[in-house]
Amino acid sequence: MDNLFLIYGNENYLINEKIKEIINEINSNNIVKYNMETDSIDDALLDVQTISMFDEKKIVICDNCKFLTREVKKSVEQNTDNLLKYIDNPFNDVYLLLIVRNEKLDSVKKIVKKLQKSSKVITLNKIENYNLNNYISSYISDKGYKISNKSITLLIEKCLFDLNNIMNEIDKLIVYKGKDKNITYEDIELVITSNLENNIFKLTNMIMEKNTNNIIKVYKDLVRNNEDPIKILITISNQFRLVLQVKLMVKNGFTDNEIISILKEHPYRIKLSKQVAISEKELKENILKLSELNKNIVLGKIEKEFGLEMFLLNL
C-alpha cells in the first residue's frame, strides 16, 4: 500500500531523514503529527479521515508507536481495532506514517502482522562498523569535501558514536572549512568540543592503556567541570565490564556480529574494546576495587573525590 508506511529501527537520524524524504516526495504542506506516548491512535485516525477543505494531500505522522513493540507500556493504552479497519479501507489522498523507534516489532501482535503485509515497511537500524565510515565518507564527498579514515574515526569517537551528533558536527566542519575542501584531523580536534561523557570515555581508555601521565589531568578537568566522581566511577566500571565481556566472548568464539547483537552495544565500542591491551585478570581486579570503593563511599567511609583519585594514582 503506497500511502501507508511502517518505519522502525533504533537509528533516529536515519528515521528522521526518511520522514523528510517521504514528505518531500508527497509534496504536501498539510502535515499533522501525533506522539503515541501521549496521544490516542483514534484521534490520529479521526484526523486521517477528515477531508481537507482545500482538497490537498494530507500526511499524518504517528511517532513513538510503542504499542507495536514488546516494550513495557508507559504510554497511552492504544485500541488498534479501528486501525485494523482503516488498513482495509484507507483514504487515497492521505498518507499515514507509523514510526517505531525500536529495532524490533512484536510480530505476534495481530496489528503488526497486518501492517507487515499491508504497508510499506522500512527498517532503519544503526549503521554497523565499516559501513558507518563509508556512510560518513560518502556524505562528506557528496558535499564536495575530503576526509581521511583516521579523521572519521576521531569524529565518531568525539561524537560518542551518535549519528545525529556526527552529522551535525560535519555540517559545522563544512561551514568552518569554507572553500578549503579538506577536513583534517586537526580541524576535528579544534572544532568539535569534547563533552563530559566523551572525556570520561577518554579517561577510561587512558586507564586501560596505562597512560599514567594524563590520567590525573583528565580527571581533574572533569571534577573542575562539576562532574560527579560517582558518575565517573560507574562509567569507568561499566567500561571495564564491557571490555571483559568482549574479551571473554572473543575467547569463546563469538563473532563480532554475535557480540554486538548480544551486548546491544555500538560496533565501534566493541571494536575499541577488542583493541585494548589489558588482561582479564586486571579487568576483574579493577572491577572489584571500584565496587568496593563505591560501597565505601556510599557508607561514608571515604570521601568520593579522594577515594577515586587514590584509585587512579594506584593503577
Q: Which amino acid is at 136?
A: I
In whole angstroms, give the CA distance from residue 99 to residue 64.
Answer: 6
In whole angstroms, give the CA distance from residue 131 to residue 174.
Answer: 22
**Contacts of 170 by beta carbon, 8 Å cutoff, 6+ apart:** 136, 139, 140, 143, 155
pLDDT digits (tens, 9 = 90+) for 300-313: 999 998 899 888 88
In whole angstroms, give the CA distance from residue 265 to residue 272.
Answer: 11
DSSP-assigned states of every residue in 44-78: HHHHHTSPPTT---EEEEEE--GGGS-----S---
Pair 265, 244: CB distance under 8 Å: no
Nearest Cα residue to 128 out of 156, 92, 102: 156
- pLDDT under 50: residue ranges of the chain: none
pTM: 0.69
Identify the pLDDT of residue 207. 82
The CA angle 142-146-152, to the nearest 5 degrees, is: 100
Identify the pLDDT of residue 1. 62
Grid look-up 601521565 returns: 213
DSSP-assigned states of every residue in 120-187: EEEE-PPPPHHHHHHHHHHHHHHTT-EE-HHHHHHHHHHTTT-HHHHHHHHHHHHHHHTT--EE-HHH
Nearest Cα residue to 42 out of 91, 85, 94: 85
* Cα 47 to the center of its chain, rounded Å: 32
**Contacts of 268 by beta carbon, 8 Å cutoff, 6+ apart:** 129, 132, 156, 157, 161
Pair 64, 58: CB distance under 8 Å: no
Domains and CATH numbers, the chain: 4-123 (3.40.50.300), 129-191 (1.10.8.60), 196-313 (1.20.272.10)
Identify the pLDDT of residue 87. 93
pLDDT digits (tens, 9 = 90+) for 20-61: 999 999 988 889 999 999 999 999 999 988 876 666 789 999
**CA dihedral for 271, 275, 279, 285, sign (positive or negative):** negative
Burial (CB count <10 Å: 0-12, 13-18, 19+), residue 100:
buried
Pair 7, 100: CB distance under 8 Å: yes
Identify the pLDDT of residue 170. 95
